[in-house]
Chain A
Amino acid sequence: MSTFEFLLQGIVIAAQPMNLLYALIGVTLGTAVGVLPGIGPALTVALLLPVTYKLDPGGSLIMFAGIYYGGMYGGSTTSILLNTPGESSSIVTALEGNKMARAGRGGPALATAAIGSFVAGLIATLALAFIAPFVVKLALVFGPREYFALMVLAFVTVSSAFGDSTLRGLTSLFIGFALAIIGIDQLTGQARMSFGIPDLLDGIEVTTLAVAMFAIGESLYIAAQGDLGPDKVEAVKGSVWMNRQDWARSWKAWLRGTAIGFPIGAMPAGGAEIGTFLSYATEKRLTKYPEEFGNGAIEGVAGPEAANNASAAGTLVPLLTLGLPTTATAAIMLAGFQQYGLQPGPLLFATNPQLVWGLIASLLIANFMLLVLNLPLVGLWVKLLTIPKPWLYAGILLFATLGTIGANPSVFELGMLLAFGLLGYVMRIFGYPIAPVVVGLILGPLAEQQLRRALAISQGDVTVLFTSPVAAVLLVIAAAALIVPLILRARGRGEVLSQLAASED
């Protein structure tokens, strides 16, 4: 069957009432957490994993993907109206968007962000549908050593290629690795790093770690800043509709943002932030109104928002076709697949096409829902921004612990939650990125398996890792991604890289 037929079949599956309901719940929750400062899609999916344990896998995954997309939409509302980006990938939106809101043009800013997100989401999801089968074919010839090389590349880009310090990125990654070896070795059944504690034999739960680092670590950090006074929410004045000039200036920026964001998300290159920065730079150079940049140029909202959503869709390419998560949210979604005994990758397209294509098709539907949720109903979301911080964070911690208790109501699990929360807090104080820990924990064991398989095939000959052309090229790229930023930083050119920091999603 062709991609087109698969996609049609997927739409039939996605249009089932239950799946529509899951998608609606997902996008609504996603928008809400995107709007709320301090919690992102990674945390939300982590919180929901235990709750959805008993639900049907297809529906839950549709919901998770809806949260991911919704989070990208909702983040823009916060950056435009509050100047506090809800997501790291919305930082750029705040640059121009908040200026527009202060100038009384918050409506058009929200509109161009939402419509741009829609256009980008639609194009990028279709691109995902048409590219995925090719990547799957490519991936079928991948052996253990090629997979291992690919994961090494992902480790480097997620941890150290961007951000402000190679040392701290790598340290985060290795802390993730160290946590990953706790438990029973999957190939020999030996217990490692469990010190005779039965609770540790199953290893560290990805959800516990993610919830602790993102929810508890973040709450502690925000609380420790003390009372900074209330944040100023800009009211949406005037019409939310864009005038003719807004449209004329926006549509090219949307398309350019999509073209920039999707490939960056699809490559194992870390978070959505990179695409938004590149898109902003592009728009700034191409605009006919350079004097408006810095004072609320609509292109500076339209382009990055499109790039942001396009790279969210792009991230699903390596996740679905290779089982390779390149962001924290994707890593937790991978844990979601594993919770149902599914392993994303080329085989999933063969063994479970209904699930994969239903998921991709439901993203198209989710996009339409999000457009409706975010344009006419934007006033509702703005109200969320007025929740006082004490209640907001008390609620966040209530739900954060609810998920962990629901998965495993043991004092030991809550103790780990507290310990990792403190670890996340300390890491945040010292500027260590969090995403590499999560990616290291979930991808580390997979990389170890592939490496040991490759070496078992070669009977321990390490050179085999470099004799496959594909693996060799991937490892060379990984080495370059590690070394080039080190040289750039040593020469004092690190500011660009630290602006491209991939932190949460």
Chain B
Amino acid sequence: MQWRGAVAGLFALLAACGPAAAFDRAAIAGWSCAGASGMTEAANALIFGVASASKEDAAWAAALAGAALDRTLKCGGAAPAIETPQGPVDAVTLQPGAAGDGSAPLLSLKNRPLFETARAAATLFVGATPGERSAALGALERRAASLPTDIFERAADAETDAGLKERILGAGQAALLNSPDMTKRVAAIERIAATPDRRALTRIAALKADPAYGKDPAFKAAVDAGVGSIERWLAVSNALNALYNGLSFASILFMASAGLAIIFGLMGVINLAQGEFIMLGAYVTYAVQEAMRAIAPGALDWYLIVAIPVVFAVTAGIGVALEATLVRRLYTRPLMTLLATWAVSLLIVNLVRVAVGTQNLQFVTPSYITGGRLVMGDFIVTWNRLFAIVFAAVTLGLTWFVLKRTPLGLNIRAVTQNRAMAGCVGIATRRVDMMAFGLGSGLAGLAGLALCPIYSVNPQMGSNFIVDSFMVVVLGGVGTLAGAVIASLGVGQINVLIEPLYGAVAAKVIVLLMIIVFLQFRPEGLYAVKGRRK
């Protein structure tokens, strides 16, 4: 039985290599039940036949390979059958009615990767979603050298998703890299160099060890040109990555320091507990997540959006309470306010530490900010950082609107410019202070929400941001949004740009020195509000 299967398999193999051969379904299903060597034949037949198979045959190949892998292929009955949730089906026709008894054939260590390759190859043609096909491609890329090259070409022809099509072609070229035909190899090198990423670099750089590199000058030139071009593009994409990370850091910094700057401009005090409002924002986000998990698990993905008003309300409320009980009583003593708000921050950190614990909080990453998009080279626009950036931009817009287009904003600006005169014309300056303090605290809370998907959240996290926020306030000047925006961008970008060159610490040192030098020329910051000096 076995030798017959093996011989038939060999014939099938030869046939499959020829043009437009359809699967001999019955034979392949039979071999799958014919022990280890039969299964090898079956898998090879699937792999080599799938490129030229019809759509139904490819779907059948995927089902059969999958069944062998998942151990739902049953060999005990009269004909091989596949167990499905709807009952057993015939392994040849995929029609119901088979007797699904017997045991699944054992996959040997050698056969498992073959069947995996067969399933991936079939899925590449018939996978329902681009995601499925992309995963299949990922599996195939690892074994590209042992695959018939026409798999990639035909799959690329059939592919509808443009991005995936590019990748399939790339994988095909990678397989061609090892082809004996030198012109094909050179063409493949150029093709791979056109999509510059780290993997392409290692792939082409590895060719320097190839014997042809020393012998064939055309091949050597192609490899060197490819490596050079990829390295150039990688440098560009690394720079873009740094800029992008800097932008997301700056976004969070902006939300943390805009509140500080508004309050400082208005009342002349710095809230040293601002970092703890960020932390509270993150903890409230966590509370919302847990509440949604308990009440509406189906909508858990949307907790970040649901949390926005909750976080703002809670942190702004705490800010208003802090202003009314403490800051207001110290308003002629800004230096004492520093110490008092520091005491509040110490209190908040330790309350959270006692109540929740010191461990990092675990956040569910919602599906809409998972992953990212590869733009070029290694530069990936990750959705979680994009979320922070967009969120900060929207917050900036809303804050600008509040400050410039609402009565509250008008009052804040008036009191910032001249407190005594604003009081004289009937503005309730204490009330304005309270509202502004709430606004600033709410902004810090939103910063905490935005950083949940990016940074780790624990009771001490506030101190990571507070000193950078100071630098933003000092650099940007007080009481203006524009200053806070530009200074956060500056501080954020300088931090991440210097970091890869000299390390994170050097970045902070350089930022501080630059600020001290800068203050020699503009002691009031970038944008000084024209008003009475306090």
Please determine whether chains A and B interact with each other in the same assembly: no
Using a CB–CB distance below 8 Å, which chain A residues touch chain B? Answer: none
